[in-house]
């Protein structure tokens, strides 16, 4: 019997996120969209006046904060309906209108930064001391001052704000093609049973115990993207060109500089990661060989990398996953655990199960003043348990930040976000390895662990290397074509897989096309790998130090964007300017490989 995805309207309400907690109905959303748009002309009365007094500046900052947050609520509501059913044209239309509004807001407020930067630094310091309303903005002024060389005139800043919407079109085309329009031939099992391939099912199919299911899922999924490779290559090329254009428009030395400098991340963090990753590729090569031997294969294929190594993997219903995650996070205290359980089980933070047209992957979103929200496609296994733990890490980071910081510091950035998400996985994994002693459970859990590390500590650094090279090619004036992108991706993966994995160059090489969001967020992907390194270091500190370690970590969550992210992480106990945290994460990875090898040898040893 074929396996198919349900339509969106077939998903039970209690299993969906509560978008109506933002606006009770589309009519209320329409009214607010119109109201925000109508308020934009009134912002012009501030133009040219911000340098006149502390009072005027404080009034502006409050107005800007309010209008931006209101616009983001409009975007958030529309995006929540669009993400769960990308084929819904009405939802897509609302999302497009919301993004258009947000672009207009950015253009309308663009004059402010050049005006504030025209003020002498000592004036802002004096005004901050004189007017208590400006005190919360002290760090914002510091950040602004560091951006001084890269802020353009009011007219140019307004133009950059206006192009944000059309510049987003390439990402939207790639995303719509992936999530709504692409159709894949079904996966076919060894007994002939067919399973529908969609963004919500591909991961489960690649973990199937049936090798034909895995092979046909991998090949048909890749072939779907290969069939539109030229279109997607043009999208990615345009996205990279936009990054290069914006870097040059703001006077940065490169796209990498433009990505890291505003976030105050030292350049050596990126380069240390890549160098340490390449140094430790033998750890991955050893894992591929252990997996090959356990599966009794002469050659390991790419579609075997996620095959189950035990035939008795546990079934983990959603409610059980929440229970185990809550137990794993217990070192952080009752308040953290209660908020987590309430959000996951009662307040409908999570859009839980897959449906046709649902966006691929998983993410956490929301805004100061709303609930955190999670999109995922849960499938009753330890892999989904881990994904849920990851996204709850993001959501609790937001929960604590929004409780502790004003809206201006509600955005803590990817560099910190990926630490909080991977931290949850590290703590939950350690808890389950200690408490669930059944060898089959441990093997299944370590499979998930290796799959998670494969994504964040193998695929993401490989994509980061790819991203650096394609940006440098555009910066040198070279062209990006589908075939050159495929060849580059295949070359990088071949180095990572080594001699132990046989790979189809074109089907592996199209991997870049399967990331319709990540590669449009200028040098985003490397922060997954720094995140997993920082997370494992902090989880180790919490487990060793007890309450003092937990308090430091909760303070890390509460800091949000009120300090430079690198400083926030360093004060929590991790300094990523050194290779040491990445080295430690590879040591953790190696320990998991050793443990898995021991379990598999014991399982397969003769009695």
- Stated pTM of the model: 0.85
The catalytic site residues sit at: 391
- How far, in Å, CA of 529 to CA of 506, rounded? 25
Angle subtended by helix axes 382-404 and 318-328, to nearest 10: 60
**Is a pLDDT exceeding 70 seen at residue 2?**
no
Specify if 58 maps to a domain: yes
Domain contains 146: yes
* Strand, coil or helix: 56: helix
**Tokens of residue 117, six digits:** 């930067």
Q: Domain count of the chain? A: 1
Q: Average pLDDT, whole number, for the chain? A: 93
pLDDT at 148 over 70: yes
Percent of the chain with pLDDT over 90: 82
Is residue 586 included in any domain, yes or no?
Answer: no
Q: What would the pLDDT profile of 366-412 be if each residue is shown by its tens digit?
A: 999 999 999 999 999 999 999 999 999 999 999 999 999 999 999 99
For residue 84, being part of any structural domain is answered with: yes
Q: Where are the beta strands (DSSP E) in 348-428?
A: 350-351, 363-365, 373-375
Sequential DSSP letters for 473-511: HHHTT----HHHHHHHHHHHHHHHHGGGEE--HHHHHGG
pLDDT of residue 522: 84
How far apart, in whole angstroms, are the C-alpha atoms of residue 86 and residue 91? 8
- DSSP letter assigned to residue 133: G
393: in domain: no
Structural domain for 20, as ranges: 8-167
Confidence of residue 158 (pLDDT cuts 50, 70, 90): confident
Say what the pLDDT of residue 606 is.
45
Is residue 23 one of the residues assigned to a domain?
yes
Is the pLDDT at 607 greater than 70? The verdict is no
* Residue 136's CATH number: 1.20.140.70
| Residue 533 counted as domain residue | no
DSSP annotation string for 1-53: --B-PPPGGGS-GGGS--GGGT-SSHHHHHHHHHHHHHHGGGGGGGTTTTTS-
Q: What is the mean pLDDT of residues 507-516?
A: 95
Do the domain assignments include residue 34? yes
């Amino acid at each position: 019997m074929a396996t198919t995805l349900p339509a969106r309207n077939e998903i039970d309400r209690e299993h969906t996120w509560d978008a109506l907690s933002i606006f009770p109905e589309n009519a209320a959303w329409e009214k607010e969209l119109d109201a925000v748009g109508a308020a934009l002309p009134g912002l012009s009365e501030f133009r040219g006046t911000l340098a006149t007094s502390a009072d005027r500046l404080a009034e502006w900052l409050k107005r800007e904060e309010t209008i931006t947050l209101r616009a983001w609520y409009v975007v958030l509501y529309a995006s929540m309906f669009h993400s769960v059913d990308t084929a819904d044209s009405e939802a897509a239309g609302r999302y497009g209108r919301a993004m258009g509004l947000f672009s207009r807001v950015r253009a309308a407020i663009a004059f402010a930064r050049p005006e504030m930067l025209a003020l002498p630094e000592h004036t802002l310091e004096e005004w901050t001391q004189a007017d208590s309303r400006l005190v919360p903005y002290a760090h914002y002024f510091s950040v602004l001052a560091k951006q001084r060389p890269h802020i353009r005139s009011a007219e140019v800043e307004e133009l950059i704000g206006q192009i944000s919407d059309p510049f987003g079109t390439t990402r939207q085309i790639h995303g719509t093609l992936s999530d709504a329009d692409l159709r894949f031939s079904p996966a076919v099992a060894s007994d002939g049973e067919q399973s529908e391939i969609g963004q919500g099912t591909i991961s489960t199919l690649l973990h199937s115990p049936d090798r034909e299911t895995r092979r046909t899922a991998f090949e048909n999924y890749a072939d779907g993207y290969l069939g539109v490779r030229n279109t997607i290559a043009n999208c990615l090329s345009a996205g990279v060109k936009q990054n290069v254009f914006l870097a040059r428009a703001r006077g940065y030395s490169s796209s990498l500089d433009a990505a890291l400098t505003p976030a105050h991340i030292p350049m050596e963090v990126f380069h240390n990661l890549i160098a340490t990753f390449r140094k430790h590729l033998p750890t991955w090569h050893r894992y591929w060989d252990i997996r090959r031997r356990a599966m009794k294969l002469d050659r390991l294929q790419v579609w075997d990398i996620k095959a189950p190594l035990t035939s008795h993997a546990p079934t983990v219903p959603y409610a059980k996953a929440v229970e185990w995650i809550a137990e794993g996070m217990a070192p952080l205290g009752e308040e953290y655990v209660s908020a987590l359980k309430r959000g996951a089980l009662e307040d409908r933070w999570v859009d839980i199960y897959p449906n046709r047209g649902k966006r691929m992957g998983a993410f956490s979103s929301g805004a100061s003043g709303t609930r955190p929200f999670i999109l995922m496609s849960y499938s009753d296994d330890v892999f989904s348990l881990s994904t849920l733990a990851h996204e709850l890490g993001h959501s609790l980071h937001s929960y604590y930040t929004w409780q502790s910081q004003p809206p201006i510091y509600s955005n803590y950035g990817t560099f910190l976000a990926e630490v909080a998400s991977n931290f949850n996985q590290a703590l939950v994994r350690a808890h389950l390895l200690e408490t669930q002693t059944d060898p089959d459970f441990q093997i299944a859990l370590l499979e998930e662990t290796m799959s998670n590390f494969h994504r964040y500590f193998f695929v993401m650094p490989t994509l980061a290397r790819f991203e650096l090279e394609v940006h440098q090619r555009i910066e040198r004036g070279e062209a990006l074509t589908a075939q050159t992108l495929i060849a580059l991706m295949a070359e990088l993966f071949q180095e990572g897989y080594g001699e132990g994995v046989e790979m189809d160059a074109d089907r592996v090489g199209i991997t870049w096309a399967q990331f319709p969001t990540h590669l449009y967020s200028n040098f985003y992907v490397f922060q997954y790998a720094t995140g997993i390194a920082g997370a494992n270091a902090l989880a180790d500190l919490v487990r060793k130090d007890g309450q003092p370690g937990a308090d430091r970590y909760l303070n890390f969550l509460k800091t949000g964007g009120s300090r430079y992210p690198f400083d926030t992480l360093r004060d929590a106990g991790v300094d990523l300017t050194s290779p040491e945290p990445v080295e430690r994460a590879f040591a953790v990875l190696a320990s998991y490989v050793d443990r898995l090898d021991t379990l598999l040898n014991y399982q397969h040893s003769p009695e």
